[in-house]
Structure 1
Amino acid sequence: MRRVAITERGDWRAQAGACGFDFHTIGGAPYWDETAYYAFTLRQIEDDLEDPSAELHAMALDLVDEVLRDEAKLKQLAIAQPYWQWIADSWQQRQPHLYGRLDLAYDGNGPAKLYELNYDTPTSLFEAAFFQWQWLEDQRAAQRLPAHADQFNSLHEALVARFGQIAPELKHPLRFTAVRGSNEDQGTVAYLRDCAAQAGLHGELIALEDLGLSEDGRFTDLDDLVIGTLFKLYPLEDLFGEAFGQALPASGLQLLEPPWKAVLSNKGILPLLWQRHRGHPNLLPAHFDDGSALQPGWVRKPLHSREGANVALHLADGSWQESQGPYTGPCIIQAAHPLTAFDGRYPLIGCWVIGESACGIGIREDDSRITGDSARFVPHAIIDAVGMPGTLYA
């Protein structure tokens, strides 16, 4: 694994605009960064990222039934009690799921380590599935990458296929929603809507703020049509806190991702995984935070935090780093395994699982060991390591 400088495509901003990637720059700072890429060998991709991600995904799914049958575990995960049965029913019915992202620390040596699962509202999908593939094709055509350069990326095809697989299990009509003011979330749901349409599954976009609730407790769109299935890029635990949240269990609304993903999108799954698979090479020791004193070498994360917010990192050398954010409540403690610096930047690898298969990666790169919402997306390529320039992990 190496970080390699490369010339940008001269027209990439025009290409981004043409395909709706209007969040390539956020707050005046670059989000998409193609001044460099990460180069991998095929062995690193297959043995160190793809296979372990598939195994970790299967291990996580194996825990869902156990958690949903154990009130003590549901309390540990701080899942609101009025929703327990609804969540359990969605699992017993095996309501279909679409996708998820595993965030991994990896520098080309040793096993990748699981930081967390993003299994309810994962983002950076469009740029991973579509725009970085377009980058690869253009750079090969420009001969800045060798003709044999490849990418761990069958995401688009897998998404279309998965929508086709789950279509018969979804209630109609289908709607896609996200917060109106988030360009990134709106761009993601627009992309997923397009993938669904390519599979023959059609649904309109609706802003989360425009969802209605009928007198008999059904969720409706702007035409007052009762929604059958709602793809929502909005955290399930936050939906519970909305005024209409209490209507969810009795509404008959089907969700993508399904309610049972509340178990896996919760950072409390990390200590539960460690309890079940203690010593697994891809897991970090983790436990629920009980407030006891800790030796240096740990990370504290709230159960429901996102985008690296409210994370406290205390390294073995005594150094300390903490990110700000809005999240409170119960936390977990995870053994510190700091990201490795490449050219002073810290890459976090997100491995995507579509259905049950690991299908591709996206890399977010930050100037800090805590990957925040301002982290840049940097493309990758699979290239034979011999004879290629670049910065080795350091």
Structure 2
Amino acid sequence: MKRLVSEPRPDWKRRIEEQGLVFSTTALPDGRNVEYWHEGAYYEFTMDEVETLEQTAEDMHLMCLEAAKFLATGAMGTIGIGAEALELAGESLQAGDADIYGRFDFIYDGLGGPAKMLEYNADTPTGLIEAAVAQWFWLQDVFPEKDQWNGIHEALIRQWKKLQYRTGMSTLHVAHSEAEESGEDWMTAAYMRDVAGQAGWTTIGINMSDIGWDPNLNRFVDLDNFLISTIFKLYPWELMMKEPFGHRLLQRAHNPRWLEPAWKMLLSNKALLAALWHLYPDHPNLLPAYLDGPGPLKEWVAKPLHGREGDNIRIHAAGIHLEQPGGYGREGWCYQQFHALPDFDGNRPVLGLWVVGGESVGCGIRESDGPVTDYFCRFVPNTIDAPAPLPPASNQGQAYSSKAGIAP
């Protein structure tokens, strides 16, 4: 893997916004603005690297399912979600409730050593539009002769088609929280409506706060009192369980088909890292991890069990004593061995490996200046050092650019 310099397109800002990446500009505390999308550089993989990392992600996904089964037994406590939520997650896992997607975060330096898993964002993964769409368009504009590690768009359509075939359902509600103000959740939900629509679903957008309960039907309904039978929600399960309607979620027989399903509570929780290390000690793609304390670790990263975007992370390592702000931590902590991010001339990347239906389908790379990949990181596109394949029958250029303004 190499980090190579590239000349930004003159109208890159307009282009990414037309493609749905409307949340690229982030305001710093000092008033300055930074751009999340960065095309002044790109990372290039060899095909051998891609194939190895794909296999790693798929193997790790299967290992995470085994770790989720272990967590569901309660052997590591209630992992900050409570006994009822843990039982619900276990029932969902045992029932084989269908899922759509997830994103692993891996450390990888391209120097021949194994990639190391940092975490699995499998309930509400974001970073989707830039990985599936924006970097694909960048490739067509800048390096049309090259290939890219990116089959995310087609894989999502296939997965939605499989779900429709499996369930016989045709109407999908898509929900996000309007409390998220950057626009990322809104556009991610819009994009999910788009790929589901291409798979044959009729989609209906709704805010999480507008989901209602009909006591006569004993079911969740939308604003038109229309029964919600299948719903994709971009909202964490652990927060859903704490909402006023949270107790209704325990009545599985009266619930819609939730996507992501309740068992994703077990994969998005940082306790998963400790469960993995317990089940697969010394695995080359894992970092040692423990609950409640660092145990034998001399250098460690403390992660709140429900944390996101680097919030509240604490690092204790040689020359680094850092604590990120945020509102997490009361739910408990996981302590993972510290592993420095690779350094490409001051740029520290993390690979986001996307998994759809258990299959590794693409990569999105975020890089930071410091040891934590947080709100101020940069997304950098990728290429593969190989000729571009023939274009697929359905691609992002035909599928999404004309629908970037679709409202969820």
Using the size of structure 2 for normalisation, the TM-score is: 0.87
Selected match of 1:179 from 162, 177, 180:
177
Identity %: 40
Distance 2:308 2:17 in 1: 27
Q: What's 1:118 paired with?
A: 121
Structure 1, unaligned runs of 5 or more: 142-146, 385-394
- Superposed, 1:10-49 pairs within 5 Å as 10-27=10-27, 28-47=33-52, 49=53
Give CA deviations for 1:127-171 in whole Å, capped at 9, x if unaligned. 101110111111024xxxxx2x21111111101001000113445
State the AA in 2 paired with 1:258.
P
Distance 1:379 1:335 in 2: 28
Distance 1:72 1:276 in 2: 12
Q: What's 1:2 paired with?
A: 2
Asked if the contact 1:98–1:163 (Cα under 8 Å) also holds between the matched residues in 2, the reply is: yes
State the AA in 2 paired with 1:55.
D
Selected match of 2:300 from 273, 298, 301:
298
Selected match of 1:150 from 131, 147, 151:
147
State the AA in 2 paired with 1:178.
H
Asked if the contact 1:172–1:228 (Cα under 8 Å) also holds between the matched residues in 2, the reply is: no
Structure 2, unaligned runs of 5 or more: 28-32, 387-408
Distance 2:297 2:277 in 1: 19
Give CA deviations for 1:303-352 in whole Å, capped at 9, x if unaligned. 1101111111112x242122111101211111111101212121111000
1:286 aligns with 2:289: yes
1:138 aligns with 2:102: no
Q: What's 2:246 paired with?
A: 245
1:213 aligns with 2:209: no
State the AA in 2 paired with 1:175.
H
- Superposed, 1:1-394 pairs within 5 Å as 1-27=1-27, 28-47=33-52, 49-68=53-72, 70-73=73-76, 75-109=77-111, 110-141=113-144, 147=145, 149-170=146-167, 173-182=171-180, 183-216=183-216, 217-250=218-251, 251-290=254-293, 296-315=298-317, 317-328=318-329, 329-383=331-385
Cα distance, 1:93 vs. partner? 2.0
For the residue of structure 1 that corresponds to 2:309, the secondary structure is: coil
Greater mean alpha carbon deviation, residues 200-209 or residues 22-31 = 22-31
Give CA deviations for 1:12-41 in whole Å, capped at 9, x if unaligned. 222223233211223332111111111121
Asked if the contact 1:96–1:169 (Cα under 8 Å) also holds between the matched residues in 2, the reply is: no
Cα distance, 1:76 vs. partner? 4.5
Cα distance, 1:291 vs. partner? 7.1
State the AA in 2 paired with 1:130.
V
Q: Judging changes above 3 Å, is the alpha-carbon distance between structure 1 residues 86 and 319 closer, same or farther for their aligned structure 2 residues?
A: closer
Asked if the contact 2:170–2:202 (Cα under 8 Å) also holds between the matched residues in 1, the reply is: no
Asked if the contact 2:299–2:337 (Cα under 8 Å) also holds between the matched residues in 1, the reply is: yes
Distance 1:181 1:259 in 2: 22
Q: Would you say how many aligned residue pairs link Structure 1 and Structure 2?
A: 373
For the residue of structure 1 that corresponds to 2:363, the secondary structure is: strand
Q: Judging changes above 3 Å, is the alpha-carbon distance between structure 1 residues 247 and 207 closer, same or farther for their aligned structure 2 residues?
A: same
For the residue of structure 1 that corresponds to 2:231, the secondary structure is: strand
For the residue of structure 2 that corresponds to 1:383, the secondary structure is: strand
Using the size of structure 1 for normalisation, the TM-score is: 0.90
Distance 1:291 1:102 in 2: 23
State the AA in 1 paired with 2:20.
G
For the residue of structure 2 that corresponds to 1:72, the secondary structure is: coil
Greater mean alpha carbon deviation, residues 155-164 or residues 370-379 = 370-379
Distance 2:210 2:376 in 1: 28
Give CA deviations for 1:63-110 in whole Å, capped at 9, x if unaligned. 333332x2333x252232223443232222211000111100111121
Distance 1:232 1:43 in 2: 36
For the residue of structure 1 that corresponds to 2:367, the secondary structure is: strand
Asked if the contact 2:311–2:326 (Cα under 8 Å) also holds between the matched residues in 1, the reply is: yes
Distance 1:86 1:289 in 2: 24
